[in-house]
Structure 1
């Protein structure tokens, strides 16, 4: 088993993948803030948590959460492609303008900031976990 194949690291990697995809969706909402008739989108966190829980229950013997190659040019991870795609759902903000656009930049920026903090937390935990494993694997006295 490789050092990166532990349950904790798999969960953190999957979380960072979800948060990266959510950041892309939120950035798309901000980019379309002036597009007539545009309704903002978001990813369902409940769907992500259900999928992750299901993956962890079904893989008692295999702790890795599979990654996916979402574009033809992506490198396929070792062990083959698999993994998850997240469904984008329409999530209108609190107000709609005259041209039918319902993107509220303040709400989108709050969501993006919250998402960034979650990503940074997951990344920090990932790095700390790896550092602890490296320290434990070092020979005594080093």
Structure 2
């Protein structure tokens, strides 16, 4: 009898990938805190998770209507959103609030660790079941 990992592991296998993507976006925001006109971005977690569960690709590709057009793909995914700033514009057009980004990064890393622990316990349960314990 085959093991269906989607049923056995639940949602936690998908949350790891989304949390990892979100960590990259938040780190990019912090790295660009002093870049003029940089707009802070974040991932809509629910949209990204539902997309990951349905195994849809998050990348959008641009159509080439002529062979001389440069082939490229968009970095923005449907779940990627620009963050509404909590503070007034400082004059350089940058919308990154470093303290908020750090807090979001910390929260995301704690939730990532929780998902890793849940997955670990699921694998322990599967191992016990396979051993017949």
- The TM-score, its normalising length taken from structure 2, stands at 0.73
The CA RMSD measured in Å over matched residues stands at: 2.5
Q: Which residue of 2 aligns with 1:102?
A: 95
Moved beyond 6 Å, runs of 4+: none
Equivalent residue runs for 1:1-142 within 5 Å:
1-2=2-3, 5-51=5-51, 55=54, 66=55, 87-95=79-87, 96-139=89-132
**Offset of residue 50 of structure 1:** 4.2
Instruction: Output one character per residue of 1:73-109: Cα deviation in whole Å (capped at 9) or x when no partner.
Output: xxxxxxxxxxxx6531111331132211111100000
**Offset of residue 9 of structure 1:** 1.6
Separation in 1 of the partners of 2:120 and 2:6? 13
Q: In the comparison of the two structures, how many residue pairs are matched?
A: 114
**Offset of residue 67 of structure 1:** 8.2
- Report the CA distance shift for 1:8/1:138 in structure 2 as closer, same or farther (over 3 A): closer
Whether the 8 Å CA contact 2:18–2:49 is kept in 1: the answer is: no
Separation in 2 of the partners of 1:67 and 1:13? 15
Instruction: Output one character per residue of 1:52-91: Cα deviation in whole Å (capped at 9) or x when no partner.
Output: 67x3xxxxxxxxxx486x7xxxxxxxxxxxxxx6531111
Separation in 1 of the partners of 2:110 and 2:40? 21
- The TM-score, its normalising length taken from structure 1, stands at 0.69
Segment drifting more, 122-131 vs 97-106: 97-106
Whether the 8 Å CA contact 2:18–2:48 is kept in 1: the answer is: yes
